[in-house]
Amino acid sequence: MKKVLLIGNGAREHAMAKALKRDDIELYCVGPANNPGIAELCEEYLFAKVTDKDAIASFAESVRPDFAVLGPESAVEAGVADMLLELEIHSASPLAIVGRLESSKAFARDLLEKYQIPGNPTFKVFHDDGGLEEFFDELGDDFVVKADGLKGGKGVKVSGDHLNGRLEGLAYARECLEESGRVVVEEKLIGQEFSLMSFCDGTHTVDMPVIQDHKRAYEGDTGPNTGGMGTYSCENHMMPFLTAVDVKEASEMNKHVAKALFEETGVYFKGVMYGGFIATKNGVRLIEYNARFGDPEAMNALVLLKTSFVDICEAIINKTLDQLDVEFEKKATVCKYVVPEGYPDEAVKDQKIEIGELPEGVEVFYASVDERDGDLYLCGSRAVAFVGKGNSVGEAEAVAQKAVEAVSGPVFYRKDIGTQELISKRVEMMKELRGI
C-alpha cells in the first residue's frame, strides 16, 4: 500500500487528504495543530510547524512515504520539498527556488518582463528610494504597493481601499523598503478577478475549472480582506463575466511561466501553479502567482476532480502529466466559510460551535477548529468550509447556504456568495467596462 505524507492542517489540506484517500493509501500528516477531519483520515499525525524541517525530516525518515505533498506556502518557501528530496522523497510541490514565484512579488513581475510574457501591469521594483516619488506621480491616484515576501495576504495595499492618496502610498512603500529592501509599486487594475490553478510537472500544465474567490469579510464585498470567505465555480468551468479568450490568455500565461521558470533557474516547477488574474477592458492581467492550491479554491476543484489525485501527484513528480487524462465533473460548486465573530481582526477563540443537520451532498472541510470530547471549538481563524455541488451555481449555493445555517455558536458567514444577485453585478460591471 502506498504511503503519502501531507504537510499542513487547514481546510485546504483536509480537501487534499480526502482526495488522496479516494485511493487505498496510508496517509501521514504534519501540522501545528489538530484538524479533526484530517486526524480521522491519517495513520499518524505529527504536531509540528510546517516549516520545522528537522521534525519533518525525522518523521519522514520513520514513515518513508512514496511521495509528499505540501499545502501551505510557508512550507514551500522554507524549502521543505528541497529537504525531503535530499532524503530521496519526492514531492508533488515545488522546490523553494521556483516557489519564489509566490514568495517574491518582485521575482514574479521580473520573470514575466524578462521572458516577454504578456500580463504584467505597469510596474517597477524598487531597492531604494531613487525614483519612487516620480513613479507615484506617473501612476496618479490608481496604484498598488506590494511588500516583497509572504505576508499572508496582508502585504498588498491598494489605493482607495487601504491607502488614501499618494502620501500614504509613499509612506507604505518606504516602510516596505526598510523592512525587506525591496518593494513593488504598480498600477491599480480595474476589472473582475478570477483564479486559474493548473497542475504542472515543469513542462506540461493541466488547467482546473475557473473559480472566483471573495476576500472581503462582509456582504457586498465590504469590510477587511480575509483569507477568503468563499468561492464558486460554474458547471461549464468558466465564469459568466469571462470570454473564452480571457481564459485562454490566463492558461497561456501559466504555460509560459512554467517554461520561463525552468529557463531562469534550471529547476522544473512541480506542483500547483495558481494564477490570480483580473479581466480588464484591455485583456487579462496577472495580479499575483501562488505556488500551491488556493484556500478555498482547493475545495471547489478537488470536489469536482474525477481522476485519481494520487495518480496526478505521481505524474507531476515523474513529468508525465501529458499522459494522464485529468477530468473534472461538469458541475457547479459553491464554498462558504463559517468564521468566528470578530474575524479577521479580533476573532473569538475557544468558543464551542455545533453543526446541526446538514443537507444531503454537502462536503465539510475543517479548518481552524479543535475537537475536545466530541465537541468543536473555535481556534481564531476561518473555522469550517461547506461546499455545495449542483447542476447550476444556484443549486450549489442553496446546498452551501443550508449547511452554514446549520452551524450555531459565535460565528458568521457571507450569505451572498454564489447568489445570482452578486454574480449579475459582476457581469454588468464587466459589460460596462468592455463597452458592450
CATH code, domain carrying 338: 3.30.470.20
Alpha-carbon Rg for the chain in angstroms: 21
Q: What percent of the chain has pLDDT over 90?
A: 94
Which residues have a Cβ under 8 Å from the Cβ of 15 and sit 6 or more positions away?
293, 298, 299, 302, 303, 365
Query: Given this model, what pLDDT does residue 86 score?
Result: 98
Say yes or no: 300 and 337 in one domain: yes
Q: Is the pLDDT of residue 153 over 90?
A: no
Domain presence at residue 187: no
Q: Provide the pLDDT confidence category of residue 155 given band limits of 50, 70 and 90.
A: confident
Cell matching residue 270: 512541480
Q: Is the pLDDT of residue 154 over 70?
A: no
Q: Is the pLDDT of residue 162 over 90?
A: no
Which residues have a Cβ under 8 Å from the Cβ of 34 and sit 6 or more positions away?
9, 45, 47, 370, 371
Say yes or no: 80 and 157 in one domain: no
Q: Is the pLDDT of residue 151 over 80?
A: no
Q: Is the pLDDT of residue 15 over 60?
A: yes
Say yes or no: 213 and 351 in one domain: yes
Say yes or no: 69 and 151 in one domain: no
Q: How many CB atoms lie within 10 A of CB 428?
A: 12
Domain presence at residue 122: no
Q: What is the mean pLDDT of residues 82-97?
A: 98
Query: Given this model, what pLDDT does residue 343 score?
Result: 97
CB 271, CB 289: distance < 8 Å: no
Alpha carbon separation from 298 to 140, 360, 381, 406 (Å, rounded):
37, 21, 18, 23
Residue 398 domain boundaries = 192-423
Say yes or no: 174 and 197 in one domain: no
Say yes or no: 390 and 290 in one domain: yes
Q: Is the pLDDT of residue 295 over 90?
A: yes
Q: Provide the pLDDT confidence category of residue 152 given band limits of 50, 70 and 90.
A: low
Q: How many CB atoms lie within 10 A of CB 61?
A: 11
Say yes or no: 173 and 305 in one domain: no
Domain presence at residue 199: yes
Say yes or no: 237 and 377 in one domain: yes
Domain presence at residue 146: yes
Residue 39, Ramachandran bin (φ over 0: left; ψ between -120 and 50: alpha; else beta):
alpha
pTM: 0.95
Domain presence at residue 120: no
Residue at a domain's end among 45, 79, 95: 95
Residue at a domain's end among 75, 95, 115: 95
Mean pLDDT of the chain: 96
Q: What is the mean pLDDT of residues 376-388?
A: 98
Domain presence at residue 383: yes
Say yes or no: 377 and 401 in one domain: yes
Query: Given this model, what pLDDT does residue 180 score?
Result: 85
CB 182, CB 214: distance < 8 Å: no
Distance CA 50, CA 31 (A): 6
Say yes or no: 325 and 199 in one domain: yes
Query: Given this model, what pLDDT does residue 366 score?
Result: 98
Report the CATH number that the domain containing residue 7 is assigned in CATH. Answer: 3.40.50.20
Query: Given this model, what pLDDT does residue 427 score?
Result: 97
Distance CA 106, CA 109 (A): 5
Domain presence at residue 209: yes
Domain presence at residue 101: no
Q: Is the pLDDT of residue 63 over 90?
A: yes
Q: Is the pLDDT of residue 137 over 60?
A: yes
Query: Given this model, what pLDDT does residue 142 score?
Result: 92
Distance CA 60, CA 48 (A): 13
Alpha carbon separation from 383 to 63, 213, 233, 360, 362 (Å, rounded):
30, 17, 21, 21, 16
Residue at a domain's end among 72, 95, 118: 95
Q: What is the tens place of the pLDDT at every residue in 194-250?
A: 999 999 999 999 999 999 999 999 999 999 889 999 999 999 999 999 999 999 999
Q: What is the mean pLDDT of residues 5-24?
A: 98
Task: Report the number of distinct structural domains present in the chain.
Answer: 3
In 3-state terms, what secondary structure has residue 333? strand
Q: How many degrees, rounded to 5, is the angle at CA 235 between CA 231 and CA 240?
A: 70
Say yes or no: 280 and 203 in one domain: yes
Q: What is the mean pLDDT of residues 250-262?
A: 98
Q: What is the mean pLDDT of residues 324-342?
A: 98
Say yes or no: 283 and 352 in one domain: yes
Query: Given this model, what pLDDT does residue 150 score?
Result: 67
